[in-house]
Structure 1
Amino acid sequence: MDLKKIIPTEAKTLHDLKIDPEIITDLIIKELFVHGKKVPRRLAKDLKIDAEIVTQVINELKKLEIVGMVGGSGMGSDYQYGLYPKGTERARNILDRDKYLGAAPVSFDEYIRITRLALDEGKQGYAINRKLMEEKFAHHLGYKDVLFQIGQAVCARKPAFVYGFPGNGKTFLCSSVVKLLPPMIVPYAVEVSNQLIRIFDPSCHVPIENFDMEGLDERWIAVHPPLITAGGELTLEDLEVKYNSKFGCFDAPPQVKATGGVLLIDDLGRQRCGVEEIFNRFIIPLENKVDYLVLGGQRMEVPTDEIVLFSTNLDPMKIVDDAFLRRLPYKINVRNPTVEEYTEIWTSTIKKLGLQFDQKNIDDVLVLYKRDKRGLRAVHPRDILNIIRDRKRYLEDGNTAITSTEVTEAYDIYFVRDLTLVETIA
């Protein structure tokens, strides 16, 4: 997938930026007020626009006695500019209503157009199939049937309901789905009715290293497919455009930032709002791959074309109804591991910890599971073996062989049968 064919070429004039020129003027004034004197090419780098555009704006601001030359090497391109008193006053007025600093925004229409081009190219020019799934998950232990179902859902780009007991890797599997998706491009920010909405979020968008943007519009950035995870902290308000005081602009909601990637609603049923409320809010994004957001009284349609995964370790039939499940064609049970899979995970962990493998250790621990009528979990080998390794370190025991006693003690520490307090009377 060639993202360079989709990213617009670099704008050479204010008009080519396709946004209100006043936005660029305000950004330059704010940069000079907050960070002090700068040369035009430094300002251009900060705003991600061509230096000639910055020079053009500065020349207009010089005529208005808002900025002036305050230093430099004597070479035209290296003159430093700073604010005059008139510019300082204007900067304060601007910052009272708009504190955003950073890359210049793209227009809303351009955001929609380029985003849809990238999504269409990703679907037509990037095959998601069994071969890719097996390649990307080659080191994953067991669960081949579960991986097959997940791969099928991602290939169809359809939402899925993922459920199962805690400790079997639901969150890990869901998070790994992004490995199957093509890269994406996003703008740093979008202008809507002179308000700025931040799209690029470094907490979930990972830039593609060494991506050559020569001659391209640097207000866009190439990223790996995004993964947005919303857990028990999710509220309905989080799914709307919200003001971010830290960045001085509005923030796009998670279903918009996840476009082209994966949106994982984790720990479903543990949110402060009800499952039915969450699902009702997602009906349109799930069915139409768009969402309707409101900013400054303006209603806008935005793409929300991503893989939406709902994950829970609660009993599905106690938190969702048939109407919910009907709209999610894939219901994937991340089941308990088989004995063979448990052994495979145990063996792999043993190697990582530098301990010796002994089938008797497996036999010993399975006897304890059977005694307690306890189900196997994929995470158990890692946790039990780490307790054994910790014990050896504490005792400065260099013997890498594991005894039956060590297995039993680690098991008993990990699986506490009774967490109630018991008063001891002297």
Structure 2
Amino acid sequence: MNMQVSNVIAPPAPKRLAEMQLPIVMMRDILLKTMFRKNVDMVSEIAKAICLPSAVTQELVDMGREQRLIEATGTLNANSGNEMGYQLTEAGKSRALDALSQSEYYGAMPVPLDVYREQVERQSIKNVQITREQLTKAMGHLILPDSLLDHLGPAVGSGRSILMYGPPGNGKSSISNGIRDAMGDKIYVPRAIEYAGQVITVYDPIVHSAAEADEDDKTSLRRVGRFDSRYVKCERPTVITGGELSLNMLDLVYNPTARTYQAPLQLKSTGGIFIVDDLGRQEEPPQALVNRWIVPLEEGKDILALQSGEKFEVPFDTLVIFSTNFHPNEIFDQAALRRIFFKIKIDGPSQENFLKIFALVAKKKKVPLDEASLIYLLKEKYPAIDNVYANYQPIFLIDQIISICQFEGIPYQMNPDLIDRAWANMFVKDEHIVK
């Protein structure tokens, strides 16, 4: 029976060695390398180290014994339920060293790419149903017009690409993070996948936040080991890149020392969100970056290349969010714009929403509101910038006021003089500096 987390079906654990769909020599060598490197000598310990069920691990150990690479130590470990101990023979140590010289990879047995594809289908981002309530709750810390959620909801629910554009400082990054928080369910991320005998590591603690074990996992022995432990149960991943994004970051990364590959950012974000923040600030032109995504966005698959030059397909199941301060027509041609499914403008707040944000921030930071100061801000200051309000401004101004009050040694307060001093730091006066 398949176990579910939310509505995601967990990957079933293999029951026999014959089900593994991995090259037998590769599995044997990973076993030998792991025993050699981790100094594990009981099947229960080895099984934990290579992330396979004990029955499958025992089959591997028995195969190693038949090939005279592993031998029983003849001692039973009383502390571990009288388990038999095993060790590498001299031939086994020699084979482990030889295998390590070909690839340093040991530990978790990789998941074959084709098997991983099946799991990607089970937990596809396109299966996520997000309600207005979930989205509103996840965006609860933001004051957003209802019309924005009207556009955002269907965009997120479709699992298609989104372009958010508009002036800086209005929360495009916060909205992207809110979308991630609205998802709320868990998926399974492989520690490593295998293609053509090559190992590609996928699980990355920086990108993937491993979920705590379920309460029922702790209390019910029957549930433990019910899903394939070559995977880690995680929140849906979010990869955020900004001006540092370059095209080569979307290629497989080869480690010549370990002779293994590391998954590129978009593969690590499978089942989750890939946010390209500040589009237009990268070294490569935005058009080139979007062109790189066209096939994956349209066909649901990406093409990667091994060191040998061999190309292969991997699943592309990611909600891509592009965020830019430029108008889309300035940075894309019409063909690229057609391929980005949703275009959503994130504008500055109305005066009414600006005041709501200002009041909320002041309350949170314990700065008493002053009506005369607010009138001064709206009537004297904002006309100088054509009454253009931005979401970042209330936090900026109130933080400035707090800093001035702390410096002057006075209680937190608001008055026109403090508004003037805070405002002076928000904008730099245009002037010619003599060099």
Residue in 2 that maps onto 1:73: 77
Question: What amino acid is aligned across from residue 186 of structure 1 in structure 2?
Answer: V
Question: What amino acid is aligned across from residue 40 of structure 1 in structure 2?
Answer: V
Deviating above 6 A after TM superposition, structure 1's stretches of 4 or more consecutive aligned residues are none
Residue in 2 that maps onto 1:378: 391
Tell me, in whole angstroms, the C-alpha distance in 1 between the residues paired with 2:313 and 2:240: 23
Residue in 1 that maps onto 2:144: 142
Tell me, in whole angstroms, the C-alpha distance in 1 between the residues paired with 2:147 and 2:138: 15
Tell me, in whole angstroms, the C-alpha distance in 2 between the residues paired with 1:331 and 1:9: 39
Residue in 1 that maps onto 2:400: 387
Tell me, in whole angstroms, the C-alpha distance in 2 between the residues paired with 1:246 and 1:312: 38
| 1:357-384 CA distance string (max 9 Å, x none) | 2233322333223234463221111122
Which residue of the other structure, out of 168, 174, 177, is the alignment partner of 1:172? 174
Residue in 1 that maps onto 2:43: 40
Question: In structure 1, the residue corresponding to 2:270 is in which secondary structure?
Answer: coil
Contiguous gaps of at least 5 residues in structure 2: 218-223
Question: What amino acid is aligned across from residue 128 of structure 1 in structure 2?
Answer: I
Question: What amino acid is aligned across from residue 77 of structure 2 in structure 1?
Answer: S
Residue in 2 that maps onto 1:98: 103
Tell me, in whole angstroms, the C-alpha distance in 2 between the residues paired with 1:352 and 1:422: 43
Taking only the aligned residue pairs, the percentage that are identical comes to 28
Question: In structure 1, the residue corresponding to 2:281 is in which secondary structure?
Answer: coil
Residue in 2 that maps onto 1:195: 198
Moved more, 83-92 or 406-415: 83-92
Q: How much does 1:170 deviate?
A: 0.8
1:133 aligns with 2:146: no
Q: How much does 1:13 deviate?
A: 2.4
Contact 1:163 1:313 (8 Å CA) reproduced: yes
1:404 aligns with 2:413: no
Tell me, in whole angstroms, the C-alpha distance in 2 between the residues paired with 1:407 and 1:245: 58
- 1:344-383 matches, within 5 Å, as 344-366=356-378, 367-373=380-386, 375-383=388-396
CA pair 60-333 structure 1, distance change in 2 beyond 3 A: same
TM-score, normalised to structure 2's length?
Answer: 0.86
* Aligned residue pair count: 419
Contact 1:65 1:84 (8 Å CA) reproduced: yes
Residue in 1 that maps onto 2:220: none
Moved more, 49-58 or 377-386: 49-58
Tell me, in whole angstroms, the C-alpha distance in 2 between the residues paired with 1:7 and 1:143: 38
Q: How much does 1:256 deviate?
A: 2.3
- 1:18-33 matches, within 5 Å, as 18-33=21-36
| 1:86-140 CA distance string (max 9 Å, x none) | 4333333222221223321111221112211322xx655x532323322332342
Question: What amino acid is aligned across from residue 102 of structure 2 in structure 1?
Answer: R
Contact 2:120 2:317 (8 Å CA) reproduced: no
Residue in 2 that maps onto 1:111: 116
Q: How much does 1:420 deviate?
A: 6.6
Cα RMSD for the two superposed structures = 2.8
Tell me, in whole angstroms, the C-alpha distance in 2 between the residues paired with 1:217 and 1:373: 59
| 1:285-327 CA distance string (max 9 Å, x none) | 1112222223345433322122211111134332212222122
Q: How much does 1:169 deviate?
A: 1.0
Q: How much does 1:396 deviate?
A: 3.4
Contact 2:253 2:264 (8 Å CA) reproduced: yes
Contact 2:8 2:122 (8 Å CA) reproduced: no
Residue in 2 that maps onto 1:229: 240
Contact 1:105 1:190 (8 Å CA) reproduced: yes
Which residue of the other structure, out of 242, 245, 253, is the alignment partner of 1:242? 253
CA pair 188-308 structure 1, distance change in 2 beyond 3 A: same
